[in-house]
Amino acid sequence: MTARLIDHRLGSVELERLADRLATPCQLGAYALDGLICRTSTALVFVARGGAFGSEEGVIKLTGRAYSPLLDHELRLLNWCREADVRGVVGPVRSELEWLENDAAAMLLPFLDGGDLVQWIGAHTNGSGNLGPRVALEVGEHVGGILRTLLQLPRPLVHRDVKPQNVLLAHPGAPLAALTLIDLDVSEELDILPEQFGSAPREVAESLVGDVRGFGELLFDVATGRDPPAQGPPNPNSGNAAFDALVEKCLTSVAGGPGYTSVADAGLWLDMAAALDREPDRTPVGGSLPGRPLVPGGGRRYLAVLAASLLIGLVAAVACKVLIG
């Protein structure tokens, strides 16, 4: 593989021209662009209809020729996840970039409107924010399972931005088993095998442990409804000592030092099982908590915009010096 540097000056000029041209609502090729969701440094993201979406709404991410290798790299990683049947990672609508009117590279993404985990927590606690370790462990089982599967790809993939805002439901009322991990804009491909994680080079080990700490923050947030303390022991004091120890060990893990080496660490999953054994009711929550709209009235469009905003990047940390074959 050869490294190809991106001409950011040209890319910015092309993006500005696209933005000036595509004042919504407007038509671009077969697609009706209903509204601009957001603009990143390398792309424009719209809610759209038509073309491959048919009569349904979808999300279209556009960029010019200079930045198209970044979009292609993002799409390649999404396709890897789909080909590997990674449960819980949203795949693209099409597996290849679509060129519109010769100068706009487009990636097509599905429309999601179920809201993120932060909204889900708020909706199911009536503002108290305290769901306890049982629900946190079930969320952790599903989210951790996705992260572990990403680490088992032919080239392991580290998410590097694990947090409740990046865990999404496809539609209101969807069960926890349908949680989706999104927003992989800083994801990193690793050149080592899973069995080498324990002796990984320092930089790789830091990325792996970063996901562990993010996972610990997610467990803490779901159980307590608040962020871990900035100072002092990060103990959620949930009433389940095994759960508290698990969360604290995640949050204090150090690359090359104490703690878990990755979210695929067998010790982490054994400790999750031990924490679950301490729970008096181990029946899965599943979809038993009632689904409800997360935004009063007209929330569908708001949540679609939110979901698409979170979906917009799968440009790896290496994307600024993207590798393309």
> Are 86 and 152 found together in one domain?
no
Q: Look up the pTM and report it.
A: 0.75
- pLDDT band of residue 290 (cuts 50, 70, 90) is very low
- The domain containing residue 105 runs over which residues? 2-112+317-324
Q: 304 in a domain, yes or no? A: no
What does the pLDDT look like over 194-226, one tens digit per residue? 999 999 999 999 999 999 999 999 999 999 989
Strands (E), 176-259: 180-181, 188-189
> Are 224 and 265 found together in one domain?
yes
**16 residue type, one letter:** E
> Are 251 and 125 found together in one domain?
yes
Sign of the dihedral defined by the CA atoms of residues 135, 139, 145, 148, in that order: negative
CA–CA dist 117, 140 (Å, integer): 12
Q: DSSP secondary-structure letter at 20? A: H
> Are 72 and 106 found together in one domain?
yes
pLDDT tops 90 at residue 278: yes
What does the pLDDT look like over 44-55, one tens digit per residue? 989 999 999 999
- pLDDT band of residue 228 (cuts 50, 70, 90) is very high
The total domain count for the chain is: 2
CA–CA dist 128, 252 (Å, integer): 27
Element (H, E) at 58: strand 58-63
> Are 123 and 261 found together in one domain?
yes
- What is the CATH number for 206? 1.10.510.10
Residues with Cβ within 8 Å of 163's Cβ and at least 6 positions away in sequence, in order, are 214, 217, 218, 221
- Residue 207 and residue 148 in contact, taking contact as beta carbons nearer than 8 Å: no
- Residue 93 and residue 51 in contact, taking contact as beta carbons nearer than 8 Å: no
- Percent of the chain beyond pLDDT 70? 83
**Least confident interval from 74-88, 245-259, 261-275, 280-294:** 280-294
> Are 169 and 259 found together in one domain?
yes
**145 residue type, one letter:** G
Report the pLDDT value the prediction gives residue 126, as an integer from 0 to 100: 61
> Are 106 and 130 found together in one domain?
no
Report the pLDDT value the prediction gives residue 285, as an integer from 0 to 100: 64
- pLDDT band of residue 313 (cuts 50, 70, 90) is very low
- pLDDT band of residue 24 (cuts 50, 70, 90) is very high
Most confident of 225-229, 250-254, 282-286, 293-297: 250-254
Most confident of 182-186, 187-191, 211-215: 211-215
Report in angstroms the alpha-carbon separations of 127 from 112, 123, 124, 173.
Answer: 24, 7, 8, 18
